Amino acid sequence: MNDSAAVKVESLGKRFKIYRTPWGRAREWLTFGTRTYHKDFWALKDISFELKRGESLGIIGPNGAGKSTLLKILTGALYPSEGEYHINGRVLSLLELGTGFNPELTGRQNVFYSAQLLGFPETYLEERLPDIEAFAELGDFFDRPLKLYSSGMHARLGFSLFAFLDCDVLIIDEVLAVGDIFFRQKCYARLEELISQNTAIILVTHSMAVVQQYCQEAVVLNRGRVVFQGIPSEAIKRYFLLNQKPAVPMLLSKPLVMDNDAVAKLDSGDESVTATTPFWPPPEAFLDLSKATSVGEGWARCIGVALCDEGGNPCQVFKQGQQAYFYYEFEMLKDIEVPIGGLTISNDKNILVHGKNTIQYKSEVPLQVKRGMRVRFRQSIALEIAVGEYTFSVGLGTINVTDYSNIACMSHREMIAKVFRLNHIDRAGTFSVTFRHGDDLPLLHHGLCNLPGECEVLVDGDVASPVKPAEVPMH
Amino acid sequence: MILNLYRHRNYIVRNAWSDLRLRYAGSGMGIFWNVIIPLAQILIYTVVFSRLMSFRSPGMASNRYAFVLYLCSGLFPWIAFSRSITRGSNALLVNARHLKMLPIPEEIFVAQSAMADTFSLLIYLVLLVVAGLLVGQPLGWPSLLLPLVAVLFQGLAFGIGLLLSSLRVFFRDIGQALGIATQLWMWTLPIIYVESILPENLQSLLTFNPPYIYITSFRDLFLHNRIPPLATWGGMVAWAAGFALLGSIVLHKLRPELRDAL
């Protein structure tokens, strides 16, 4: 192992023995291991990676992928069943956040005891105590018993303690999801400080934005195996693909022979431009919808849903403000009149961030679609929304021609009553919005989404002489 | 193992002390219950055996409190010992949360519970000596060695606790069985009865019962003002060290899978 490597893991594996009854183990002992009464469960298999000082590694994967087991092994709490790992220096794990705390003792006492449990001498801690106390911002509560703390305060104390103990490798398991935003920001700032001090960081998280921003490398785990290892943006794509494999075979088995005319009419609104078929993504770009729930009553069938970037390449990770292109296609099982297509975007808290349909876009639509015909929708949206994870759903509805022509003088409620829902694909896909370029470009806006608007600056009632940041004279 | 225990000595002592405090946490008298309970026991035995039953064991001094002192000098160490084993064997399960997260050695939790009961045994012994003085028991310098025997006895409890604690993680039934076993075990020892009522052949077997040598040492020091011979001290050290070694070997063997089963 060279000097710069802080962590080196070589074909690590962890097997749990599952016994049907506890006596199975006793019977194994009595036969000196010649007979087995257990089933093996490999929580981890063949894990290898290397992490240098001053770098951070993200570990992502669905629940039950073995992330926590891996961290527990690296921390030293669990023993690996095979393979080896080397850690150069002291490892601390935020897994342990507050586990050593005693509710009867004050925050200050707990800080001392926990640090001792981790093997730090008392004198060392006395030096660090002012930093810890200041960072935790607990005020009087620092000297009150822990049982009076709120869970957020508990977490603050825990993080503050760990952030100021010297270590070479810091393991963080999703704990930064706790605490209020101000504290979280402080935590991340502290993490960057630690990285600059040459601490290696292993970060387990479900927040893709955090992985994208803080990690040089990421490992995607699934069912105890490494699925991908490499740059974060690629890793994030693989992570999303775990839940949604591009359904190439499914789509290729049904060749896309379709009524191109109808599509062209839809897209251009003009029969004469049929020749220039508008862009439609290749079959492999389409998402696997076998897991998505389709709600419909035999009126229409969803053929495919795809999400691409400006270049028409399938994409699931967008930078804030980037243009996303949603493609979705339905096949009619019955004749309908005016089709309405739309999609909704929801964030990780299941809050509907944005939803818009063809009526709201005032898209040009055919007045009738016959059974067996396919309708394609191509919707482009500038993702001026908060950094984070999103799901989107697509839907198809219809309205009759008479109502459609009167739509301008209808109230929203009246219109809703006239629309007939044909098919709806819930959570058709996921995507994530990340910072524009690491963290060197500021956010476009704060909050859930960007709202159109402008801002003028007036000094004493006059418009200030216009100077933009780039035009400020240098001193 | 010794290194681990040494490294975590502050943690062990502190937590043992807070264990003792928290055992009665929430009650008005708090930590004083550690004193009140043995005191009440001494009083009850005194009233029952010296006043009501006026029981006098054969071959004992004419002091009417002699049996009470005999009983307490055996029973108190036994209470601390058996509690230490019961709690010590449960220590890994109780601290599962720590063990699953932290790279701390298992033995310190067993040591912590043995330490807590060492503290309470020392409190008992102080009360016993005070009670002895009050009823006119002629106490001598040998009584100063009582704490040493207490520590050795608890050392044995630690060893047995360590052995059982790692087994108990895999076989939870040990906890239930232990409750019965300690009861039975007490009756195999001359704690409540006098040794001389046992048949000869059983008396000779007592030497193989580990706690026996400690109980007699307590009584030698306290009741007879007699310092046990060097061989006895050697025996006490050997039992304690032997079980601690056995316990740590078993723990070492089971360690790779121990925390998986927690």
SS3 A474: coil
Spatial contact of A1 and A10, defined as CB atoms under 8 Å apart: no
Residue B156, pLDDT score = 96
Residue A261, pLDDT score = 44
CA distance A35 to chain B (A): 18
Number of domains in chain B: 1
What pTM was estimated for this model as a whole?
0.67
Residues 54 through 113 of chain B touching chain A, CB cutoff 8 Å: 97-104
Q: Taking CB atoms and an 8 Å cutoff, what residues of chain A touch B100?
A: 72, 77-78
Nearest CA in chain A to B169: A22
Spatial contact of B143 and B227, defined as CB atoms under 8 Å apart: no
Lowest-pLDDT range of A344-353, B51-60, B103-112: B51-60
Q: Do A118 and B102 touch (CB under 8 A)?
A: yes
In angstroms, what is the C-alpha Rg of chain A?
28
- The tokens of A322 are what? 């980037």
A349: confidence class by pLDDT, cuts 50, 70, 90: confident
SS3 A343: strand
CA distance A183 to chain B (A): 24
CA distance B29 to chain A (A): 16
A75-106 tens-digit pLDDT: 888 889 999 999 888 888 876 566 667 777 88
Residues 6 through 45 of chain B touching chain A, CB cutoff 8 Å: 7-8, 10-11, 14-15, 18, 21-22, 25
- Minimal Cβ distance to B101: which of A16, A77, A119: A77
Q: What residues of A are in the B interface, CB distance below 8 Å?
A: 16-17, 22-23, 25-26, 72, 75-79, 81, 93, 95-96, 99-100, 102, 104-105, 113, 116-119, 122
Q: Taking CB atoms and an 8 Å cutoff, what residues of chain A touch B170?
A: 22, 25-26
A287-309 tens-digit pLDDT: 877 777 777 767 888 888 999 98
Q: Taking CB atoms and an 8 Å cutoff, what residues of chain B touch A76?
A: 103
A123: confidence class by pLDDT, cuts 50, 70, 90: confident
Q: Taking CB atoms and an 8 Å cutoff, what residues of chain B touch A25?
A: 170-171
- Minimal Cβ distance to B7: which of A76, A95, A119: A119
Nearest to A162 by CA among A102, A114, A204, A126: A114
Q: Does B257 touch chain A (CB under 8 A)?
A: yes
Please tell me the distance from the alpha carbon of residue A9 to that of residue A221, in angstroms, as a whole number.
Answer: 14
- Minimal Cβ distance to B103: which of A22, A77, A105: A77
Q: What is the mean pLDDT of residues A428-439?
A: 78
Question: Considering chain B, what is the average pLDDT of its residues?
Answer: 85
**For the ranges A135-139, A385-389, A459-463, B85-89, the one whose mean pLDDT is highest:** B85-89
Residue A267, pLDDT score = 45
Question: How is chain A split into domains, by residue range?
Answer: 5-243, 251-434
Residue B104, pLDDT score = 82
Residue B164, pLDDT score = 95
The enclosing H or E element of B212 equals helix B210-223
Q: How many other C-beta atoms are found inside a 10 Å radius of the C-beta of residue A447?
A: 9
Nearest CA in chain A to B168: A22
Domain coverage including residue B135? 2-258
A216-246 tens-digit pLDDT: 899 999 888 998 898 887 887 778 777 654 4
B166-210 tens-digit pLDDT: 999 988 889 899 989 998 999 899 988 888 888 888 888 888 999
B63-117 tens-digit pLDDT: 677 888 888 889 899 999 999 999 999 999 988 888 887 788 888 899 989 999 9
Please tell me the distance from the alpha carbon of residue B113 to that of residue B124, in angstroms, as a whole number.
Answer: 17
CATH class name, domain A5-243: alpha beta
Q: Taking CB atoms and an 8 Å cutoff, what residues of chain B touch A75?
A: 101-103
- Minimal Cβ distance to A79: which of B10, B101, B255: B255
Please tell me the distance from the alpha carbon of residue B214 to that of residue B153, in angstroms, as a whole number.
Answer: 6
Lowest-pLDDT range of A116-130, A362-376, A455-469: A455-469
Identify the residue among A70, A95, A116 best suited for mutation to test binding to B, counting B beta carbons within 10 A and taking the highest: A116
CA-to-CA separations, B175 to A21, A93, A330, in angstroms, rounded: 17, 32, 64
- Minimal Cβ distance to A99: which of B101, B259, B260: B101
Q: Which fold has domain A251-434?
A: Coagulation Factor XIII; Chain A, domain 1 (2.70.50)
Q: Taking CB atoms and an 8 Å cutoff, what residues of chain B touch A72?
A: 100-101
Residue A257, pLDDT score = 34
Residue B247, pLDDT score = 93
Residue A251, pLDDT score = 33
Q: How many other C-beta atoms are found inside a 10 Å radius of the C-beta of residue B96?
A: 14
Please tell me the distance from the alpha carbon of residue A137 to that of residue A121, in angstroms, as a whole number.
Answer: 24
Structure-derived torsion over alpha carbons of residues B60, B64, B70, B75, reported in degrees to the nearest 10: 150
- Minimal Cβ distance to B99: which of A16, A77, A119: A77
Nearest CA in chain B to A92: B102
Identify the residue among B101, B107, B166, B176 best suited for mutation to test binding to A, counting A beta carbons within 10 A and taking the highest: B101
Nearest to A154 by CA among A179, A134, A130: A179
